[in-house]
């Protein structure tokens, strides 16, 4: 039987090729607990509440999700509509208690009455949490994959429903909700006042952030640029400056100072000036004497040094504000084991890493970090482009937001970010 560990991702096809299979949860305790499956859309929201399958609604409309008994779900993934991108299986305490009280537990995946894979966990993993997001199945590249989340959540089932965008009947005795704060001035207007040439990008960034439901968060943004010799063409032809231009509207939207932290690296890293609406134009050709004069040592790839530098920089702030780092590379990765160790250790920090490969082939460990095991949360994503011009701004923003909202949700549930 295949043994699954916390944070592990793998194709469902590696476990079972049956059309119908089951996920069974065995959680011994003296608590009263409820199991639920949330069918989520591409925005990680329960857009159709009929796809919350639990004791009071034991079957989805399509029949693809069914609560076979109190702790076993029967699944036929081919029956699910295209609008369902992810299934998240949860357990919540009904009444008093915390998840630290559960004894040695597991979930199993099997078909035809035979278990094919199992994942063990216990209350020692948790503290004051009253719910757990146990495991998720999600679509990627046309196939279904599994992620063993095992993420604690400090509230109960009602809070999970709200978290996924569902509605909960409120007690009439509860006070009225506090009015929402006034809306921020639109990104487009803020950009237009200082950098009208970026207005078109600002409009597209705003749309993408709103679709991902992260337009109103507070977040710092960092940009890390490969400046090795093989990247010279990207710098000469303005491709790297395009990256700066495209990312800056996101910084203006998320960061109180509207600033973009920036590093370049060869054998050694150099922290560049903070990019703002006032200095972004020709930044790559002018900052610190321009890209040809940056003090990076040999123009080779030593990624781990700049990753370490960025981690140290954000750790010094001492707060739990989320950080989104866009890391640009054309491949030729150096010291994969050290990069792996840094990213795994950084999973407990409020930093999400979005790696983008540009015009390269040998991306090595950067392509594999998304499936890295042994992390508290999945803290990174990767995609590659042969040429930055091959993708529209809208597509680029959407790709960058593919996994960040999910990380933000999980990191909040773990108390990693405020």
Alpha-helical (H) ranges within 212-320 are 232-236, 239-254, 283-286, 303-315
The arithmetic mean of pLDDT across residues 19-35, rounded, is 92
Instruction: Classify burial at 111, counting beta carbons within 10 Å of its beta carbon; exposed 0-12, middle 13-18, buried 19 or more.
Output: middle
Mean pLDDT score, 145-156: 82
pLDDT score for 185: 54
Strand partners, 105: 121
Contact (Cβ atoms closer than 8 angstroms) between residue 152 and residue 132: yes
Position 232 pLDDT exceeds 70: yes
CB distance 156 to 40 below 8 Å: no
**146 touches 135 (CB < 8 A):** yes
Supply the pLDDT for residue 291.
Answer: 96
Q: Is the pLDDT of residue 404 over 50?
A: yes
- DSSP tag of 299: S
Q: At what angle do helices 336-345 and 303-315 cross, to 10 degrees?
A: 20
R_g (Cα) of the chain, nearest Å = 23
Query: Residue range 81-110: average pLDDT?
Result: 91
Strands 105-111, 65-69: pairing kind: unpaired
pLDDT value at residue 172:
41
pLDDT given for residue 107 in this prediction: 95
In terms of residues, how long is the chain?
418
**pLDDT-based confidence at residue 80 (cuts at 50, 70, 90):** very high
So what's the pLDDT on residue 46? 84
**Predicted pLDDT of residue 182:** 38
Question: Is 416 a residue whose pLDDT tops 50?
Answer: yes
Asked if the model's pLDDT at residue 14 lies above 60, the reply is yes
Render pLDDT for 174-205 as a digit per residue (tens, 0 to 9).
444 444 343 345 677 778 878 888 988 988 89
**Dihedral (Cα; 127, 409, 140, 161), 10-degree rounding:** 80
**Of residues 169 and 156, more confidently modeled:** 156
pLDDT greater than 60 at residue 406: yes
Better-predicted residue by pLDDT, 94 or 296:
296
Burial class (CB in 10 A: 0-12, 13-18, 19+), 304: buried
Averaged pLDDT, 99-127: 91
Distances (CA, A) of 384 to 329, 361, 390, 399: 9, 9, 11, 10
Average pLDDT of the residues of the chain: 88
CA distance 381 to 254: 20
- State what percent of residues in the chain have pLDDT above 70: 95
What's the rounded mean pLDDT across residues 313-340?
A: 89
Q: Which of 382, 336, 334 is nearest to 230 (CA)?
A: 334
Q: Which of 170-179, 262-271, 366-375 has the lowest mean pLDDT?
A: 170-179
Helix, strand and coil percent figures for the chain, each rounded to 5: 30, 25, 40
Least-confidence region, from 127-136, 170-179, 284-293, 386-395: 170-179
DSSP label of 237: T
**Confidence check: pLDDT of 407 > 70:** yes
Query: What is the model's pLDDT at position 17?
Result: 93
Cα separation, 226 vs 234, whole angstroms: 10
Beta bridge partners of 151: 133
Q: For residues 88 and 75, what is the distance between their CA atoms, to the nearest angstrom?
A: 12
Kindly state the tokens that stand for 179: 């009015």
- What local confidence, expressed as pLDDT, does residue 258 receive? 86
Q: What confidence score (pLDDT) does residue 67 get?
A: 94
Write down the pLDDT at residue 169. Answer: 56
Look at 67-71, 172-176, 395-399 and tell me which has the smallest mean pLDDT: 172-176
Q: What is the pLDDT of residue 360?
A: 65
Quick one: pLDDT at residue 347?
95
């Amino acid at each position: 039987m295949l043994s699954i560990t916390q944070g592990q991702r793998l194709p469902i096809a590696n476990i079972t090729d049956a059309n119908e299979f089951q996920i069974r949860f065995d959680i011994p305790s003296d608590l009263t607990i409820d199991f639920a499956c949330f069918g989520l859309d591409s925005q990680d929201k329960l857009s159709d509440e009929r796809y919350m399958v639990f004791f009071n609604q034991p079957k989805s409309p399509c029949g693809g999700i069914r609560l076979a008994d109190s702790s076993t779900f029967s699944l036929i993934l081919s029956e699910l509509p295209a609008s369902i991108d992810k299934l998240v299986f949860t357990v919540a305490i009904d009444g008093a208690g915390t998840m630290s009280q559960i004894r040695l537990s597991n979930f199993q995946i099997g078909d035809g009455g035979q278990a094919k894979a199992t994942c063990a966990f216990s209350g020692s993993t948790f503290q004051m949490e009253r719910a757990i997001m146990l495991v998720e199945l999600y679509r990627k590249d046309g196939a279904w994959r599994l992620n063993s989340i095992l993420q604690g959540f400090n509230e109960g089932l009602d809070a999970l429903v709200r978290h996924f965008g569902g509605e909960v009947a409120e007690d009439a005795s509860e006070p009225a909700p506090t009015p929402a704060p006034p809306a921020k001035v639109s990104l487009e207007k803020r950009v237009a006042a200082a950098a009208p040439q970026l207005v078109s990008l600002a409009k597209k960034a705003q749309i993408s952030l709103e679709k991902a439901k992260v337009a109103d968060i507070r977040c710092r943004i960092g940009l890390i640029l490969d400046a090795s010799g093989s990247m010279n063409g990207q710098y000469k032809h303005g491709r790297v400056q395009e990256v700066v231009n495209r990312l800056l509207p996101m910084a203006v939207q998320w960061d109180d100072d509207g600033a973009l932290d920036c590093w370049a690296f060869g054998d050694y890293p150099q922290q560049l000036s903070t990019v703002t609406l006032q200095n972004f134009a020709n930044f790559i050709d002018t900052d610190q004497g321009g890209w040809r004069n940056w003090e990076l040592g040999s123009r080779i790839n030593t990624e781990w040094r700049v990753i370490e530098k960025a981690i140290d920089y954000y750790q010094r702030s001492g707060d739990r504000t989320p950080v989104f780092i866009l890391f640009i590379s054309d491949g030729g990765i150096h010291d994969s084991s050290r990069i792996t160790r840094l990213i795994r250790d950084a999973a407990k920090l409020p930093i999400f890493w979005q790696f983008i490969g540009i015009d390269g082939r040998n991306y090595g460990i950067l392509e594999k970090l998304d499936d890295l095991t042994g992390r508290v949360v999945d803290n990174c994503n990767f995609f590659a482009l042969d040429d930055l011009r091959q993708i529209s701004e809208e597509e680029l923003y959407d790709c960058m937001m593919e996994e960040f909202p999910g990380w933000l949700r999980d990191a909040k549930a773990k108390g990693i970010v405020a």
